[in-house]
Structure 1
Amino acid sequence: MKHQSLFTNNESKALDSLAIKELGFKEETLMGMAALSVFHANEDLWKTAESIWILCGTGGNGGDGYALAHILHQEGFQVRCFSTAPNKNEAGKFYESLVSKTLGSTSNLEDFYKDWEEAEEDSVLLVDALLGTGFQGELSEELKELIDTVNDSDVFFYRLSLDTASGWNPYFLGEKNREAHPFIFADSIEELGTRKWENIGFIYEKDSIIPRYYESIGFPVRSHLNKDNFSNRYYLEADPESAIQAIKRKNKDHKYSAGSAIFYGGETGMEGAILLSEEAFSRLGGGINKIFSPSSQISSLVLKDDLSKMAKTSSISEISHDPFFTKTKTMVVGPGLTKYPEDLEGWTLPEDKKLILDAGAIPTKGNLLPKGNHILLTPHVGELNRMTGKIHNSVQAAYDTLIEFCPQNNVYVLLKSFVSLLVCPDGSSYVWESPNPKLATMGTGDLLSGILARYLSLDFDIPDAVHLALSFLDHSKQLEEPYPSAHQILKSLVELV
C-alpha cells in the first residue's frame, strides 16, 4: 500500500527538537535547507512574477521566509520582505539580519500597505511566512486585517504559504467561523520537513482541495517512527495500476477463488441498491454470490435479468443457516435498507469472514454493533454524526471521535467524503484526499460497497482493500460525462478489467 506518514504539529515540533538536540543539526541549517527546497521546487513559478513579496512573522516560519528571500535575491529575483515585528527565533534572527545586509533593509506593515496601494493588478507573487503550524492562539486585529487584505486584493496573482496557510485551523470551518478566524487563501502550500496532519482538507472553495507539496529537509521522519513520537496517521497515494491488476481474474481461478460474497439489503421498493452492489461485484470479476433481501420481489427481479444468479427473501438471522454462508468470505449488509437490522445487534461474525456495513446498516448511537475482527463500516458524514451522536465539520474532528470509537468497538470505519478517512481498531488511520465530484450521485455508495467486497473476497486485508477500491474508483474522473450515473461509472470501470 502506497502511503506517507502524516505528523501532527506537536509531532513535527518533536522531530525538529530531535534533529537539533540529539542529531546535532543547527537550526539555521534546517531553515536554510527548507528555503532552498522551496526555491528549487518553484523555480518556474518565480519566473512568472514581476515582484515577489514575502510576509514574515516573528517565529520560525518567518525565519523560513527570510531565508527564502536571501536565496531569491542572490539568484537575481526582485524580492521584498515585510515583517510584522522583529523575529524572536534565534535562527530567524540570523536570516533577518542577513536579509537586512543583502537586500539593504526589511520593510514593515506600514510600508506594505503603502506599496500595495500603488502596485498594479496581478503584478505580485506573495509568499506567506506569517504563522507556522504551531500557532494556536487568537489572531490579532492587525493580522486579521492583513490576511483580509491579502485575500481580497487583485494585486497578488498567486499566494504561496510556507508549511501551512497562516490562520488556518481545520476546526474552524464554515462561513461564520471564517469571518472570526480568517486565513490566507493559499494557491499552494509547501510543507517543510513533514507532511502535516492539520493541513488535510485545506480548502477555501467548495470541495476544492488546494495543492500541497512536500519538501524534504533532512528530518528523521523514517528512523524515528515509533509509538513515542508518532501517532500512526498516513496519507494514501493513488495506485491505479495495482488496483486494476489486483481485481482482474486469473486464468487459474474457479468460481470460489475468484471471490465469493453475500449481499443483504433492498427493502421493498429499494431493491435496486443491493442489486447495484452485487452487480459491481459480479461484473468486476467476482466468482459467485448470493443476494438475500427482506423484499418478497427480490428473486423475480434478480432472475429476470440473469437466471444463473441466486436470490432469496430472508432475514439476516436466516443467512447463517444457508449452506452458501459457510462457503463465502465476504458479506455486504445495508444498501437499500432504511434502518439498522436488529439481528445484527451482538451477532458474532465468524473469524474467516469479513463484513461491510453500509447505508441502512450504519447504526444509530445506542445500537449494539456485531462482534468480530473484520468489520468495516462505511458511513458518510451524516451517518457518522448519527452513529456517534456528534457533529463533525472536518476530517480532524472525525478522527478525534473515531480514534476512540474504533478500538472500543473493534471495527474499521471508512468515512466517505471529499476527504475520506479510514480508522482501524489498532489506532492506525489513513486519509484519501482525492475529491471526485463524479461520485456525488445516487448509487455510488452502493457501487463502492460492491467494489470493496470484490477486493476483500480476494483475501486483501481491510486497509489494503480500501486503498485499492478508492484507487480503482478514481478512474471515474476520466469519464467525459460531467454527471455520470452509477451504472455509467460501473460500465467504465468494467472496461478497465
Structure 2
Amino acid sequence: MKQKPLFTNIESKHLDSLAIRDLGFHEETLMGMAALSVFHANEDLWKTAESIWILCGTGGNGGDGYALAHTLYQEGYKVKCFSTAPNKSEAGKFYESLVSKTLGSTGNLDEFYKEWEEAEEDSVLLVDALLGTGFQGELSEELKELIETINESDVFFYRLSLDTASGWNPYILGKEEKTNVFVYADSIEELGTRKWENVGFIYEKDSIIPRYYESIGFPIKTHLNEVTFSNRYYLEPDPESAIQSLKRKNKDHKYSAGSAIFYGGETGMEGAILLSEEAFSRLGGGISKIFSPSSQISSYVLKEDLSKMSKTSSFSDLTSDPFFTKTKTIVVGPGLTQYPQDLEGWTLPEGKKLILDAGAIPSFGTKLPKGNQILLTPHVGELNRMTGKTHGSIQSAYDTLIEFCPQNKVYVLLKSFVSLLVCPDGPSYIWESPNPKLATMGTGDLLSGILARYLSLELSIPESVQLALSFLDHSKQLEEPYPSAHQILKSLVELV
C-alpha cells in the first residue's frame, strides 16, 4: 500500500527531541532548514507580493518565521517582521537577533496595526508564524483580535501559515459552547512531519485548504520504530493499480474472477442494491446473487439481465442458500431502511468478508455481527447514530472509533469530505482527496459494489479501501459537472 505516516502534536515534539537529543541536530539548524524549504517551495508565490509581512510568536514557530524573514531579505524581497513578544527559545532568539541586524528592526503589534492601517488593498502577503501545532490553550484577547484582523482585512491578498493555522483546534469543532478562532490560511506549510491535527483543515464551504509537506531532515523513519508512534497514515492515491487489479486473468473462471452476495433493496428502494451489484459485475466480478425483502426484486433483475440471479428472502434465509457457501464476499444494507434483526449477534463464517452499509449501519446499542472481516461504511450522520456521539471533526471521530473498532472487532470507513478508515488491530488511514462529483444520490451504493469487487480478489480490507477510493477518484475527470451514479459507473467501466 502507498501510505505516508501522520504525526500528532505530541509525536512531532518527540521527533524534535529525537533529532536534537539523540542525533545531535542543533535547533538553529532545523529552523534554518525549515525556512529554506518553505522559501524554495514558494518561490513563485513570493514574486507576486509587493511586500511580505511575517508575524512571529514566542515559540519555535516564531523562530521559523524569523529564519524565513532572514532568507527572504537576503534573496532580495521586501519583507517586514512583527512579533507578539520576544522569542523564548534559544534558537528563536538567535534568528530574532539575526533579523534585527539584517532588517534593521522587528516591529511590535502596535507597529503592525499602524502599518496595516496605511497599507493598500491586496498589497501584502502575510506569513503566519504565531502559534505552532503544540499550542492547545485558550487564545488571549490580544491574539483573538489579531487573528480576526488578519482574517477580515482586505490588505492581505494571501495568508500562508507555517506548520498549522494559528489557533486552529479541530477538537472543538461542532461544540456550540466554544468558538474556534484561527487564521484563515490560504495554504499551510507543514514542516518536518505531516500533522494529524491539520487533517480536514477547512474554513470555506466544500473546500479543503491546501497543505504542503516540507522535509527538513527529521528522523521520521527512525521514529516509526518507537512505541510512541500512533500508527496513523495517509493513504496515497494509486490510480493505476486500481485499474490493473480489476482486469481479469486468462485463467480466471466465474468464481476466481470474484463472487459476491448482495442483500438489500426494500420495496421501492430496489435500485440501491441493484446499483451495488451492477458495479461489482460490470467491473469484472465473475458471479453474484441479489437477495432482497422486496417481492419485486426478480422482475427488476431479470428485466435488466436474464443471466443474473435474485431471490426474495430475509437475511436469515440468505445464509441457507447454496450460493452462500460458495462465495466469500457479502454486502448488506443498500436500499434498507432498518437494521436486519437477523444480523444482531450473527456470526460471520470464517473466510468470508462482510460490508455493512446504509440501512445495515446499526443504531447505538444494537448488537453487531461477530467476525474478524467486517467493514462498516457510515457517513457522519450514521456514525453519530451508531455510536451515540456527535462528531464535528475527523479527529473527534477517530477518538471514538479507536475504541469502538477493537471493542467490536470491526473496520469502519467513515465517508466524508475526508475519509477515515480505522482498523481493529491498530492502524488507521486517512484519505484526503475530496471529490465533489460524488456528492450525488447512489454513490454510496456504488462504493459498496466497488469495495466488494476488490475484496472478492482476496485483498485485505485496507488494500481494498485504498484501491476503491483510488478508482472512484477517476470520476473527477468527468466533464459532466453533476453526474449521476450511473454516469459515474459507466465512465469507470470504460477504464477497465
- TM-score scaled by length of structure 2: 0.99
Which string of whole-angstrom CA distances, capped at 9 and with x for unpartnered residues, describes residues 299-357 of structure 1?
Answer: 11111111100001111112222111111110000001111111111111112110000
Alpha-carbon separation, structure 1, partners of 2:174 and 2:120:
32
Residue 105 of structure 2 aligns with an amino acid whose one-letter code is S
The match for 1:35 is: 35
More moved, 81-90 vs 343-352: 343-352
Alignment of 1:47-446 (within 5 A): 47-173=47-173, 180-226=179-225, 228-446=227-445
Which string of whole-angstrom CA distances, capped at 9 and with x for unpartnered residues, describes residues 26-51 of structure 1?
Answer: 11111111111111111111111111
The match for 1:478 is: 477
Alpha-carbon separation, structure 1, partners of 2:236 and 2:83:
37
Alpha-carbon separation, structure 2, partners of 1:224 and 1:218:
12
Secondary structure of the residue that 1:414 maps to in structure 2?
Answer: strand
Residue 201 of structure 2 aligns with an amino acid whose one-letter code is F
Shift of 1:173: 2.5
> Structure 2, unaligned stretches of length 5 or more?
none
Alpha-carbon separation, structure 2, partners of 1:157 and 1:373:
52
Shift of 1:452: 0.2
Secondary structure of the residue that 1:171 maps to in structure 2?
Answer: helix
Alpha-carbon separation, structure 1, partners of 2:337 and 2:418:
25
> Structure 1, unaligned stretches of length 5 or more?
none
Shift of 1:14: 0.7
Residue 149 of structure 1 aligns with an amino acid whose one-letter code is T
Root mean square deviation of aligned Cα: 1.1
Alpha-carbon separation, structure 2, partners of 1:491 and 1:177:
46
Verify the 8 A CA contact 1:447 1:486 in the aligned structure 2: yes
Q: 1:391 to 1:82 in 2, by over 3 A?
A: same
Following TM superposition, the consecutive aligned residue runs of length 4 or more in structure 1 with deviations greater than 3 angstroms are 174-178
Residue 267 of structure 1 aligns with an amino acid whose one-letter code is E
Which string of whole-angstrom CA distances, capped at 9 and with x for unpartnered residues, describes residues 173-225 of structure 1?
Answer: 359678x3211110100000100000000001112100000011111111221
Residue 141 of structure 1 aligns with an amino acid whose one-letter code is E
Alpha-carbon separation, structure 1, partners of 2:249 and 2:448:
22
Secondary structure of the residue that 1:363 maps to in structure 2?
Answer: coil
Which string of whole-angstrom CA distances, capped at 9 and with x for unpartnered residues, describes residues 237-291 of structure 1?
Answer: 1111111111122222211111100000011111111000000001111110000
Alpha-carbon separation, structure 1, partners of 2:162 and 2:247:
43
Secondary structure of the residue that 2:220 maps to in structure 1?
Answer: coil
Secondary structure of the residue that 2:355 maps to in structure 1?
Answer: strand
Residue 251 of structure 1 aligns with an amino acid whose one-letter code is N
Alpha-carbon separation, structure 2, partners of 1:349 and 1:108:
65
Alpha-carbon separation, structure 2, partners of 1:285 and 1:113:
63
Verify the 8 A CA contact 2:175 2:392 in the aligned structure 1: no
Alpha-carbon separation, structure 2, partners of 1:48 and 1:172:
35
Verify the 8 A CA contact 1:55 1:130 in the aligned structure 2: yes
Residue 465 of structure 1 aligns with an amino acid whose one-letter code is S
Shift of 1:226: 3.0
Alpha-carbon separation, structure 1, partners of 2:344 and 2:316:
11
Residue 163 of structure 1 aligns with an amino acid whose one-letter code is D
Shift of 1:413: 0.1
Verify the 8 A CA contact 2:165 2:185 in the aligned structure 1: yes
Alpha-carbon separation, structure 1, partners of 2:318 and 2:335:
17
Shift of 1:22: 1.1
Alpha-carbon separation, structure 1, partners of 2:409 and 2:175:
36
Residue 155 of structure 1 aligns with an amino acid whose one-letter code is V
More moved, 433-442 vs 280-289: 433-442
Shift of 1:488: 0.8
Which string of whole-angstrom CA distances, capped at 9 and with x for unpartnered residues, describes residues 348-389 of structure 1?
Answer: 111211000000000111111111110000000000000000
The match for 2:20 is: 20
Residue 436 of structure 1 aligns with an amino acid whose one-letter code is N
Residue 362 of structure 2 aligns with an amino acid whose one-letter code is P
Alpha-carbon separation, structure 2, partners of 1:199 and 1:461:
28
Shift of 1:447: 0.4
Residue 130 of structure 1 aligns with an amino acid whose one-letter code is L
Alpha-carbon separation, structure 2, partners of 1:351 and 1:158:
55
Alpha-carbon separation, structure 2, partners of 1:247 and 1:183:
44
Q: 1:134 to 1:370 in 2, by over 3 A?
A: same
Alpha-carbon separation, structure 1, partners of 2:210 and 2:53:
20
Q: 1:156 to 1:44 in 2, by over 3 A?
A: same
Residue 474 of structure 1 aligns with an amino acid whose one-letter code is D
Alpha-carbon separation, structure 2, partners of 1:204 and 1:211:
12
Aligned residues: 496
Alpha-carbon separation, structure 2, partners of 1:227 and 1:201:
26
Alpha-carbon separation, structure 1, partners of 2:174 and 2:112:
29
Shift of 1:172: 2.8
Secondary structure of the residue that 2:171 maps to in structure 1?
Answer: coil
Q: 1:206 to 1:31 in 2, by over 3 A?
A: same
Q: 1:177 to 1:6 in 2, by over 3 A?
A: farther
Residue 132 of structure 1 aligns with an amino acid whose one-letter code is G
Alpha-carbon separation, structure 1, partners of 2:484 and 2:444:
12
Verify the 8 A CA contact 1:139 1:181 in the aligned structure 2: no
Alpha-carbon separation, structure 1, partners of 2:123 and 2:238:
39
Residue 436 of structure 2 aligns with an amino acid whose one-letter code is P
Residue 199 of structure 2 aligns with an amino acid whose one-letter code is I
Alpha-carbon separation, structure 2, partners of 1:385 and 1:487:
29
